[in-house]
């Protein structure tokens, strides 16, 4: 969107808010409704806050448009901090020293990593873990278990370990601009529940930090689930936020506390983060719920919130990898597509291979990899756009609503299935 268009939209929204306020006053006068001075003061305060929110949203949009970039940009590792729990935070600044766009809290960065043993760069996505700042970004990365062998898939999984072992202060990394549709609008004032499990705390911590840096007064619940104190990162930071901001209610859950983990001091609840706990603590289910964590936790939360009566549009989550949660109706759609497309021929033109789609693969990317056809991929959840592939002939469809854009004549192979015979440039 062009900056002038964004300015015009913001101006129009402000004018609309003022016009609505004036209309309410006129209707009250016409019907002889009296308004106390206190009521008028409160309404004026709400109008002022609404205008401030719209102005702030317009400013952020202008700066995102002005300072964003396309393709890869060089970033220098300025600092690395061991957070505990096998998690390390990396602070990154642009090598060209130009200002950074103010990303939306919850978004991620895409990295182009040159790992030893890999014939091509490995693309991985890592959530931003702090509030937006113009001079630096922060990601917090968990070390993964050692790979079982030297297959391409395991090399991809080892990218987090490579960052831990090799990314030092002064090193240069190739990074794409912040992206992703899982985010919190920092100008909104609705009550929210933020939930992180393990390293899944990173995007929701970005949301929490952003809201509290803006001195938001809205109701905020922050749930954080880990196994024990050894995995509890950002402990002092979270405790300080809870003390400084009474509207932010921090609840830490240890599912398997160890000796020395003291309930009431180090954590508030024994057991896993779940909807049963929300029912006990929250006054209602009238919140926006945003969460990220291990797939089993996320699946349980999504299904539990729906059972509790939370509307699907108020449930927001981030998932990376093929185990991504499918929303209401998506699983049924995928099953119907797979059943309807058995027997189609999928031709990979560059690899000179023709395969039969039998409906067992979850995506075109899975089909390719199972048959030794190289295709670039990063998030495997329709977020980063790395697997975008040209379609030479035939139709396909996405099984989820992807965050990354796919131009006409292309598809995101990680979340696409055929609907007829199909030829891909791969």
One digit per residue, the tens of pLDDT, for the chain of length 426 reads 443 444 454 455 555 555 555 555 555 566 665 557 666 666 666 566 666 666 666 666 787 788 889 889 999 999 999 999 999 999 999 999 999 998 999 999 999 998 887 777 888 899 999 999 888 999 999 998 765 554 444 444 578 999 999 999 999 999 999 988 899 988 788 999 999 999 999 999 999 999 999 888 899 999 999 999 999 999 999 999 999 999 999 999 999 999 999 999 999 999 999 999 999 999 999 999 999 999 899 999 999 999 999 999 999 998 766 545 666 655 545 555 555 556 899 999 999 999 999 888 889 999 998 998 988 887 887 878 888 999 999 988 888 777 677 888 999 998 889 989 999 998
pTM above 0.75, yes or no: yes
Write down the pLDDT at residue 374: 85
- Cβ atoms of 91 and 135 closer than 8 Å: no
> How is the chain split among helix, strand and coil, in percent rounded to 5?
35, 25, 40
The 3-class secondary structure across 66-128, one letter per residue, is: HHCCCCCEEEEEEEEEEEECCEEEEEEEECCCCCCCCCCCCCEEEEEECCCCCCCCEEEEEEE
- Torsion sign over Cα 367, 396, 422, 377: negative
Bridge partners (DSSP) of residue 81 are: 89
What span, in angstroms and rounded, lies between the C-alpha atoms of 355 and 237?
53
Write down the pLDDT at residue 181: 85
Write down the pLDDT at residue 193: 98
Write down the pLDDT at residue 306: 96
What span, in angstroms and rounded, lies between the C-alpha atoms of 117 and 113?
12
The three-state secondary structure class of 398 is: strand
Report which DSSP code applies to 233: -
| Residue 62, both tokens | 């202008």
What span, in angstroms and rounded, lies between the C-alpha atoms of 216 and 422?
51
Report which DSSP code applies to 276: H
Write down the pLDDT at residue 7: 45
Instruction: Please return the burial class of 201, using the count of CB atoms within 10 Å of its CB with bins 0-12, 13-18 and 19+.
Output: buried
Question: In sequence order, what are the residues at sequence separation of 6 or more whose Cβ sits closer than 8 angstroms to the Cβ of residue 316?
Answer: 182, 288, 289, 290, 291
Say if strands 172-175 and 410-412 run parallel, antiparallel, or are unpaired. unpaired
Write down the pLDDT at residue 258: 95
Write down the pLDDT at residue 327: 67
Question: In sequence order, what are the residues at sequence separation of 6 or more whose Cβ sits closer than 8 angstroms to the Cβ of residue 265?
Answer: none
Quickly tell me which residue has 């630096």 as its tokens: 136
Write down the pLDDT at residue 122: 85
What span, in angstroms and rounded, lies between the C-alpha atoms of 54 and 34?
29
């Amino acid at each position: 969107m062009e900056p002038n268009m964004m300015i015009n939209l913001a101006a129009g929204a402000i004018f609309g808010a003022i016009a609505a306020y004036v209309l309410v006053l006129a209707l009250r006068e016409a019907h002889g409704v009296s308004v106390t001075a206190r009521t008028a003061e409160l309404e004026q305060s709400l109008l002022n806050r609404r205008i401030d929110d719209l102005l702030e949203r317009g400013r952020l949009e202008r700066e995102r448009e002005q300072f964003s970039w396309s393709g890869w940009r060089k970033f220098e590792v300025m600092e690395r901090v061991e957070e505990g729990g096998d998690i390390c935070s990396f602070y990154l600044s642009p090598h060209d020293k130009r200002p950074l766009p103010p990303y939306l809290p919850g978004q991620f960065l895409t990295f182009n990593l040159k790992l030893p043993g890999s014939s091509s760069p490995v693309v991985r996505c890592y959530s931003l873990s702090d509030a937006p700042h113009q001079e630096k970004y922060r990601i917090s990365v968990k070390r993964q278990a050692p790979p079982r062998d030297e297959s391409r898939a395991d090399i991809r999984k080892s990218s987090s370990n490579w960052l831990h072992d090799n990314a030092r202060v002064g090193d240069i990394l190739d990074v794409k601009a912040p992206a992703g549709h899982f985010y919190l609008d920092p100008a909104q004032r609705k009550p929210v529940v933020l939930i992180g499990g393990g390293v899944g705390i990173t995007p929701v911590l970005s949301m929490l930090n952003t809201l509290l840096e803006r001195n938001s007064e809205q109701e905020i619940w922050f749930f954080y689930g880990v196994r024990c104190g050894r995995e509890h990162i950002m402990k002092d930071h979270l405790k300080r936020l809870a003390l400084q901001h009474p509207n932010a209610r921090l609840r830490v859950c240890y599912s398997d506390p160890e000796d020395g983990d003291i309930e009431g001091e180090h954590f508030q609840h024994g057991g896993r983060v779940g909807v049963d706990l929300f029912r006990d603590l929250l006054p209602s289910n009238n919140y926006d719920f945003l969460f990220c964590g291990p797939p089993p936790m996320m699946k349980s939360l999504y299904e539990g919130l729906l059972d509790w009566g939370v509307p699907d549009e108020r449930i927001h989550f981030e998932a990376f990898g093929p185990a991504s949660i499918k929303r209401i109706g998506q699983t049924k759609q995928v099953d119907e597509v797979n059943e309807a497309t058995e027997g189609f021929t999928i031709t990979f033109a560059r690899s000179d291979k023709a395969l039969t789609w039998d409906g067992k693969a979850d995506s075109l990317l899975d089909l390719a990899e199972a048959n030794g056809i190289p295709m670039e991929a990063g998030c495997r959840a329709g977020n980063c756009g790395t697997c975008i592939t040209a379609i030479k002939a035939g139709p396909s469809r996405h099984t989820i609503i992807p965050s990354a854009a796919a131009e006409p004549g292309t598809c995101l192979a990680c979340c696409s299935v055929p609907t007829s015979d199909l030829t891909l440039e791969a």
